[in-house]
Structure formats: C-alpha cells, structure tokens
Structure 1
Amino acid sequence: MDKRWLLAPIFVVSLLTAPVANAALPAYFTYIMDGGGKVTSSALVKDGMTYVSASHWEAAGLKVVWDKSHQRAEFTGWGKKIAVRIGSKQGVLDGKLVNAEGVPFELNGQLYVPARFLVNSLGGTTVSWDATKRIYTATGLLSFASASAQFGGSTYTVDKKTGSLYLTDSAGHTRLLANLGSQLFDAVQFNFQKTPKGLLYLTLTDVYGEPHINNKWYTMIIKDGMVIRQASVGYYIRYGDNVKIAGNQLLLTDGKILRLIEDGTGNVTEKIDLTTLGDISDNYLVEGMDEDYLMIRSNQQGFLMMIDRKTGTKTLLYKELLDVEQQKYAETNDLPYYGDNLKFLKREGDALLFNNDYVQDGKIYKFMLGGS
C-alpha cells in the first residue's frame, strides 16, 4: 500500500449536533487513488445511501475551514474548492452550486458526506456497491495537495501532484512560473534569498518517505519575475545544505554538475564536474566554496572532501582533522548516515574552521589552506 494515502487523523469540531433521523448502519469505503494505493475505511449507510467521513477530502490534500455559526465546512486545495452544510442537500463544487446527492450530517464529532458526492468531487468513479457486505468501491480519486509561501508581495504555490510552480501577484493574477519536473510528496519548504545584485534564489525542499529518508532539492534563479536557471537534486538519508552564493557567483547543482552563475546577469561562467572531482559516480552536496577551494560530500560515502582550486589537490578532511578513533567511527558508522559529520563553520584568513557533530564536544577543528 502506498502509505502517503493513509487517512489523516479525523478532525473533531464543536458543532450543534444535527439530529440523525434514522439509525446509521456500519459499512466500508474502498477506494484507489489516481497515483495508486488502495485504502479501506469505515463508512455508514443511512436512508439507503452511503456516507463517508469528510476527512477523506483532507487526505486528498484539501484544507478545511469551518463556519461554526452556519454549520458549513469548506475544503480548498490548488484548483479545487468544495463546501457542504449540515442538513442541506446543496453543496458547492468549484464555485458552482450542485446537488450533494444526500444530506451531510454530524455524528460523534465527525462530519459525514454522501460518498458519491465526495468521489465525484475528487474526479473519481464509483465502481460498485456490494449490498451484502455493505462495501462502496471507487477508483481514480485525485489529490489536490499544494504548498504555498509568500515573498515580496507575491504568493508562490506548488501543485504537488504535477510539480507545477505558480506565482500569484499582488493584483491576484496567477501564472505558471516553472515546471519542477517531478511530483512532490510531503514536507515542502520554501526558501527565498535575494542576491546582492537583485536576483532571487528560490529553493524548494521536499523531505519524504518512511521515515523521511529522501531529500529532494529544487533550485531556481529568478530575474524580473522569470526563471532563468533551475536544477534539482535528490539525496538519500542525507540532509545537509548546499551553498547558494560564493562571492559574486551563484551556485546551482544537480548533484553531478555544479554551475557557477554570475550574479545580476545570470550567465553561466563555469561548469564543474563533481563526479570527476569526487572520484565516484554519485550525487554530491556542495558544502563550502571560495575562489581558492571547494568542499563537496558524496551522498553514499559521506566524506567531506576539500579541493584546492588552484592546484587540484584533494583532501579527505576527516583524515586530517580527526583522531584515529573518530576516523574509524566515520568509516564504519551507518547511523544516521555513512561518513563523517564535519560541519564547516567559517573561514578566518587561510584557516577553515569546522566542528564534529558526532561528538559535539565544542572543539574547533582547523584546516590551513596551502599547507600554511
């Protein structure tokens, strides 16, 4: 089963309880999402009609807002808006009044809606009703999950299913900004950074899987409201950050090729093959850079490597900075990930300063550039 489609916890709201005229009989709701994943949940049969929990809309990525005084619930997602009222046969679907095909009701703090209306509202199809086992089956339910953030008076929204990124300006006009190239799943975060020369560096991160073992980065450089450069990279059980700006250069990587981009113009000034530098075919993090050095870490091995950009000399920093015991730990430990846990702090003259997050002893480790 695709666990992404397991139901969110059922919400409990304080409502004036609408009377349930006839006793509701227990039943089952079996459905298949458009992206796969078969789920069976409880349902009720009342007055010959199947009702299901409205929390299924939340499981499909919609957010709920309650108007308690009018006993009205509104569910919204990217490109989708649904509203129902307890005791009313009328509902709202994408801005239009429609027949809800039944009367929503509240029972034990839970809102129930007609199964057929819920399925239709999510673009699905009713497959069958097994009267003997009281099983209502549907397929093809769509997700309308999205994530949004505001910056500079505009709203940025990503449709998680399609990977489409939209921009809505202060006047309410919405347009497609970029296609990210893949579906997004879980904890999407936005990071906006203005560059010294007026470009916008936008990063979206998506941490997903069980238990959140995948880390996907989508990076874009935006000039005058248009994406002029973009890249994406995925890491597995690796959660470090990539450097975005070094001097007057913007850094954009797909894990294998690092592009250096001139601030202001967006011109690519240099391409660096990280797999050649790192000696293995892998996705790499870029954890530090200046005009005379570059620090990269392979996803699989996890050792932080310093490359002298003037001489090409490569140094595995854990061998230079850690004692024998810590070196052995870096080479054999696999929890939470392989490799060392050296973290670059800052540069002081020709000295690069680090700490070791494995021991957290407060010690500062110093590496001298050029062997000085």
Structure 2
Amino acid sequence: MIKKWNKAIAVLLSVSILLPVGSHMTYAASKYVVLEAQWEDGHIDHVQTLLKDGVTYGSLFSFGGKASLHWTMENEDTAVLSGSKKRIVVYMGSSIAEVDGQEVDMGREPVWYISHLYVPIKFLAAALDGEVSGWDAKSGKVTLTGLHNYNDTFYRSLWGYTYRIQSEEGNLEITNVRTGKRDTIPLGIKDINVNTHHLTIDFEATSKNLLIATIVYSDRKTGAYDLYTLVFKNQGLIRKSIAHGLTEQIERIRPDGKIQLIDDENIRVIEDGTGNVLEVNAR
C-alpha cells in the first residue's frame, strides 16, 4: 500500500512541475527552440526559449538579468526591468508594453510558463537595442544580434571596504562596511558604456603597506585605455593620478620598490611607505 501511495505522489509531483500555476498562467509552448544571443560587448549566450502559435518567446527576467537590469513585479499584473539607462514594463493580459516611457505593441500578450515570464523575442531584442537577425527553419535556431548590456555600477571589496563606481556620477565611493562611513573621490568617469568599453578595479599592496588601487577604462576595439591610480595610506588617500588614451602598459611598482604615477603630462616617482614625491619626469 505504501509503495502505491509513493508512486501516486511521484506522479502528482511530476505533473505539478510541468503544469503552470497562478491566475495568469497558460500552456505556453508547443516546443522549445534554440536561441543564440549575441551581445554588443562580444559575448554569446545560448538560451532555450519557447515557441507558441508560431511565435518565439524569450524569458523577460532571464534576458533582463543578462543585460544587467533589475527585475521586479510591481504588482501581480505588472513586470518591470529597470536600470538607470533602460526601463521596460509589460502588463499581463496586454500586448502593449512600455520601453523607456514609449508605448510599444509586442504583437502578443506575455505568457507565464513554469515560473518564467515570456514575451515575443522580436520585441525583447528591440527593447534591448538589438534585433532578430536570423532564423534557421531546419534547426529551429533563432539568432539575436547587437543586444546591449546596461551595467552602470561596478563593485569591488577589500579588507572591510567596498569600492563602487556609478557611471552617472563618475566618482569612486569607498564605504567602511563596519561603520557605514563613506568617502567620495571624484574621477570623472561618466557615461560608462560596457558595450564599447571595459572597466576593471584592481588592488596591489606595497612592501611598506601602501595600497595602490588602479582603475582601467579601456576601449574594446582599439585597446587604448584611461588609467586612474590611487594610493592609500592607512585607508586615507595620499596620491591620485589620471592618464588618458594610453596604449602601452605602465609599470606601477618599479624593481627598486618605488611607485610610478602617470598623468597626462608627467610621471611622478613616489617613495613607498611615505608617499613622498622623489622626482617628476615629463612624459
């Protein structure tokens, strides 16, 4: 008898996994198709999506996450993808969506299916500033190209501090995790575009306990980069330099232990430990 109940429960569980639930759920797919998403920054995702009544649908929240947008349900009928540079709103039961404040007809209503919210892929590609560029009838493969990433905040953590750059502000915010105290260092890296540029934040400790933070903002096509170098002593900023349009790698710590700071006109050589300027050389 127990074995029979176990089998019955297993069947019910398997059915519950396959069937959507909720007031807006629907039977969405006749089959899966393969989706190749090519992003403007060069990387490619292969995602499975759904085909319903001859229309290919993609997961709104999955693509939103890959585009660095935050997703939320404002209420049970309204789903939102948002960032500082992009806002997409879709409504259950309506083919009319909003993209950056403008109404757009998706052609079909959104569909809930197994915990995912699906929208027509043609709409989704256009909303992410890309397009449907190919469809292979034989394999069922759909190709999207030119999709944008809207990442506008960059984080790093080290020794109990968080380092954050927001593209709209262009400053480096340093926050003490324990106390919440925040310091702001102006950098001027505004309107960061991760589709055309690459931004990294790295750290290096010297032998005499100075901390060097380097921020590199590089052009993906040309390789030219802007270099922001910050030197900290006991968590306080003592030196800062900014150089634009570099094409060669710069040695920050020389073999003799001295530190090189480069800006648009000069190279300053500073002493490890004290941060004192030892010499200034023209570039």
Matched, 1:201 2:185: yes
How far does the alpha carbon of each residue in 1:253-279 deviate from its partner, in whole angstroms, 9 at most, with x for none? 469xxxxxxxxxxxxxxxxx9756x53
Q: Is the 8 A contact 2:258 2:271 kept in 1?
A: no
Shift in alpha-carbon separation, 1:24–1:275, aligned structure 2, 3 A: same
Aligned pairs for 1:1-372 (under 5 A) are 16-20=22-26, 23-54=29-60, 55-69=62-76, 71-147=77-153, 158=166, 165-167=167-169, 178=170, 190-191=173-174, 201-202=185-186, 206-207=200-201, 217-218=214-215, 232-233=228-229, 242-243=232-233, 250-253=238-241, 278-279=255-256, 296=272, 306=273
Q: Is the 8 A contact 1:82 1:91 kept in 2?
A: yes
**Partner SS state of residue 242, structure 1:** strand
Shift in alpha-carbon separation, 1:18–1:295, aligned structure 2, 3 A: same
Normalised TM-score (structure 1): 0.45
Residue 252 of structure 1 aligns with an amino acid whose one-letter code is: K
Count of residues in correspondence between the two structures: 202
How far does the alpha carbon of each residue in 1:182-231 deviate from its partner, in whole angstroms, 9 at most, with x for none? xxxxxxx73179xxxxx9535799558xxxxxx96449xxxxxxxxxx96
Shift in alpha-carbon separation, 1:131–1:20, aligned structure 2, 3 A: farther
**Partner SS state of residue 24, structure 2:** coil
**Partner SS state of residue 33, structure 2:** strand
Residue 232 of structure 1 aligns with an amino acid whose one-letter code is: Y
Percent identity, aligned pairs only? 19
- Structure 2 residue ranges without an equivalent (≥5): 1-19, 156-163, 177-182, 190-198, 203-211, 217-225, 244-250, 262-269
Q: Is the 8 A contact 2:98 2:104 kept in 1?
A: yes
Q: Is the 8 A contact 2:271 2:277 kept in 1?
A: no
Residue 64 of structure 2 aligns with an amino acid whose one-letter code is: W
**Partner SS state of residue 144, structure 1:** coil
Normalised TM-score (structure 2): 0.57
How far apart, in 2, do the equivalents of 1:146 and 1:245 lie?
25
How far apart, in 2, do the equivalents of 1:217 and 1:59 lie?
26
**Partner SS state of residue 232, structure 2:** coil
How far apart, in 2, do the equivalents of 1:124 and 1:16 lie?
32
Shift in alpha-carbon separation, 1:57–1:279, aligned structure 2, 3 A: same
**Higher RCO (CA-CA < 8 Å; seq separation 6+):** 2
Q: Is the 8 A contact 2:28 2:111 kept in 1?
A: no
Shift in alpha-carbon separation, 1:105–1:281, aligned structure 2, 3 A: farther
Q: Is the 8 A contact 2:69 2:150 kept in 1?
A: yes
How far apart, in 2, do the equivalents of 1:216 and 1:45 lie?
49
Residue 185 of structure 2 aligns with an amino acid whose one-letter code is: Y
How far does the alpha carbon of each residue in 1:114-161 deviate from its partner, in whole angstroms, 9 at most, with x for none? 111110011112111122221111111011111289xxxxxx973xxx
CA root-mean-square deviation: 4.4
| Residue of structure 2 in register with 1:258 after alignment | none
How far apart, in 2, do the equivalents of 1:281 and 1:101 lie?
64
- Structure 1 residue ranges without an equivalent (≥5): 1-13, 150-155, 159-164, 168-177, 181-188, 194-198, 209-214, 220-229, 235-240, 256-272, 285-293, 297-305, 313-372
How far apart, in 2, do the equivalents of 1:308 and 1:116 lie?
56
How far apart, in 1, do the equivalents of 2:55 and 2:257 lie?
61
How far does the alpha carbon of each residue in 1:65-106 deviate from its partner, in whole angstroms, 9 at most, with x for none? 21233x211111222110112232111111011101222111
Shift in alpha-carbon separation, 1:245–1:308, aligned structure 2, 3 A: closer
How far apart, in 1, do the equivalents of 2:88 and 2:233 lie?
42
**Partner SS state of residue 119, structure 1:** helix
Residue 239 of structure 2 aligns with an amino acid whose one-letter code is: L
How far apart, in 2, do the equivalents of 1:308 and 1:280 lie?
12
**Partner SS state of residue 233, structure 2:** coil
